């Protein structure tokens, strides 16, 4: 089956009659219209690659269900766990359990509330469920009579990253092959500059924020649901490592949300293969080895930093990566699926990236990336870019039909369909066969 290349995935939507009934959302501008069937779910009007469709599982309007769905995990009985950011303030988050009535309608049960920006939910090496909050990793039992009473802190005292004090407040994690927890700790600023645009440095001339943030930490597994509170630094120079994934071979990938320069064409986001002790550039360098404004080349020392494996489109804001292993899409098996969540013209996409035997992205040189509403732009000359396909080339905003996509986290269901959260539209969607 031929997928739509990254280079030509511009929006080309045909006009079709709308269904009389529209999906409900928080606002009309964020509502998904539905028409027809997508593998047993109402089909949205979002144009996907041939052989794929995007169905609407749920879109919230009232008090029931998550306000900002982020993390997503299937359970053995067909239910799903969903983390709810709740808002960019501490104490508004929750963990929900989603089940389905006989007519397919979602039914919600809140398992735990009062959480601070929960994001990742995953099953650990001991079979228990683990969730990342802003400042801790917790565990809970979703099958208990009172799941909230089972909440227990596994790792506490992560940086209490309030939004306006720290630009990257969310924690995320991935389990290593030996059970160790690899935990993201985001950077507390965009570029480690003071109010005058000068570098904030220590006596060695390094960014003062590097010692405890902008890194992925390793917490050793002690067995039976216990991890060491003390950590070591696995990799540093990482502005925001929400997107982490481990390949069965042991490769650890990180997708970097680069700095917020005002230009839409720069800087590029990145995919990095993490190594023990590696430094990946923040806040000194972007792209391949380009010093950031505010950091002179002698301080940036870009030649000493680990180069990214591949560049991603600027401001794509990758938030999740998973290796597809389902049965519904044999052509995707082994590929790295990525969500691009950002609000600029490169985002609102899910991509399928080709990989090598160790799970590292295959790359192109001289590639291009698509932009909304149409067209494409070039990557830097001789720069490696990910080799793959866009699964959702038509996820731009169309008035009265659909919002620009804001995909966050993906999960593969038992039937091989790909489920995804959209936090800005308060929706859960499903990629399936038409």
Is residue 141 assigned to a domain? yes
* 391 Cβ neighbours under 8 A, 6+ residues apart: 3, 4, 48, 49, 52, 337, 349, 350, 351, 352, 431
* 213 Cβ neighbours under 8 A, 6+ residues apart: 159, 166, 185, 186, 187, 188
Is residue 147 assigned to a domain? yes
**How far, rounded to the nearest angstrom, does the alpha carbon of residue 418 sit from its chain's CA centroid?**
14
Find out whether 132 and 173 touch, Cβ atoms under 8 Å. Answer: yes
Give the CATH number, domain containing residue 332. Answer: 2.120.10.30
Is residue 181 assigned to a domain? yes
3-state secondary structure 5-36: EHHHCCCCCCCCCCCCCECCCCCHHHCCEEEE
Is residue 356 assigned to a domain? no
Is residue 221 assigned to a domain? yes
pLDDT (0 to 100) of residue 160:
66
Tens-digit pLDDT string for the chain (434 aa): 444 444 444 333 332 333 333 333 356 779 999 999 999 999 999 999 999 999 999 999 988 999 999 999 999 999 999 999 999 888 999 999 999 999 999 999 999 999 999 999 999 999 999 999 998 999 999 999 999 999 999 999 887 655 445 567 788 999 999 999 999 999 988 899 998 999 999 988 899 998 889 999 999 999 999 999 999 999 999 999 999 999 999 999 999 999 988 888 899 999 999 999 999 999 999 998 899 988 988 888 999 999 999 999 999 999 999 999 999 999 999 999 999 999 889 999 999 999 999 999 999 998 999 999 999 999 998 999 999 999 999 999 999 999 999 999 999 999 999 999 999 999 999 999 99
* DSSP 8-state symbol, 299: H
Structure tokens at 367: 């590639």
Is residue 95 assigned to a domain? yes
Structure tokens at 85: 């950011």
* DSSP 8-state symbol, 46: -
303 φ, ψ to 5°? -65, -15
* DSSP 8-state symbol, 193: B
pLDDT (0 to 100) of residue 16:
33
* 18 Cβ neighbours under 8 A, 6+ residues apart: 33, 35, 45, 400, 401
Structure tokens at 249: 């071979």
Structure tokens at 234: 């696995």
Dist. CA 172–CA 340, nearest whole Å? 17
Is residue 47 assigned to a domain? no
Q: Which residue bears the tokens 């090496």?
A: 125
Q: Which residue bears the tokens 């009389």?
A: 20
* DSSP 8-state symbol, 74: E
Dist. CA 434–CA 418, nearest whole Å? 13
Name the residue range of residue 203's domain.
59-342+410-432
Q: Model-level pTM? A: 0.91
pLDDT (0 to 100) of residue 139:
98
Domain count, the chain: 1
Is residue 376 assigned to a domain? no
pLDDT (0 to 100) of residue 232:
97
Find out whether 48 and 12 touch, Cβ atoms under 8 Å. Answer: no
Pairing verdict, β 318-323 and 310-314: unpaired
């Amino acid at each position: 089956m031929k997928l739509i290349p990254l280079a030509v995935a511009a929006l080309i939507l045909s006009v079709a009659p709308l269904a009389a009934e529209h999906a409900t959302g928080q606002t009309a501008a964020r509502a998904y219209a539905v028409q027809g069937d997508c593998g047993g779910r109402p089909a949205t009007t979002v144009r996907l690659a041939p052989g794929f469709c995007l169905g609407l599982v749920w879109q919230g309007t009232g008090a029931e269900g998550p306000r900002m769905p982020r993390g997503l995990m299937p359970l053995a009985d067909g239910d799903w766990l969903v983390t709810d950011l709740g808002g960019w303030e501490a104490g508004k988050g929750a963990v929900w359990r989603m089940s389905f009535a006989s007519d397919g309608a979602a039914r919600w049960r809140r398992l735990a509330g009062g959480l601070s920006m929960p994001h990742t939910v995953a099953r650990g090496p001991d079979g228990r469920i683990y969730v990342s909050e802003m400042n801790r990793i917790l565990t809970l039992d979703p099958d208990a009579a009172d799941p909230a009473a089972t909440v227990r802190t596994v790792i506490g005292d992560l940086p209490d990253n309030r939004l306006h004090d720290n630009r990257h407040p969310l924690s995320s994690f991935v389990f290593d092959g030996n059970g160790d927890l690899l935990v993201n700790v985001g950077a507390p600023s965009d570029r480690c500059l003071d109010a005058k645009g000068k570098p904030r440095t220590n006596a060695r001339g390094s960014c003062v924020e590097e010692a405890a943030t902008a890194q992925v930490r390793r917490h050793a597994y002690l067995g039976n649901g216990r991890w060491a509170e003390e950590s070591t630094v696995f990799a540093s120079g990482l502005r925001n490592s929400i997107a982490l994934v481990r390949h069965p071979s042991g490769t650890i990938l990180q997708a970097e949300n680069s700095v917020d320069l005002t230009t839409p064409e720069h800087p590029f986001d990145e995919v990095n293969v993490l190594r023990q002790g590696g430094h990946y550039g923040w806040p000194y360098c972007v792209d391949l080895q380009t010093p950031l404004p505010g950091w002179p080349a002698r301080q940036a020392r870009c030649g000493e930093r680990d180069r990214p494996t591949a560049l991603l489109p600027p401001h794509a804001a990758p938030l999740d990566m998973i290796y597809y292993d389902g049965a519904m899409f044999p052509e995707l098996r082994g590929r790295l699926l990525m969500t691009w969540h950002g609000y600029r013209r490169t985002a609102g996409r899910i991509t399928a990236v080709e990989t090598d035997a160790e799970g590292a992205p295959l790359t192109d040189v001289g590639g291009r990336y698509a932009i909304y509403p149409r067209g494409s732009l070039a990557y830097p000359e001789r720069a490696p870019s990910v080799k793959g396909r866009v699964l959702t080339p038509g996820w731009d905003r169309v008035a009265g039909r659909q919002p620009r996509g804001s995909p966050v986290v993906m999960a593969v269901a038992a039937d091989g369909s790909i489920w995804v959260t959209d936090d800005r539209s308060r929706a859960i969607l499903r990629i399936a066969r038409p």
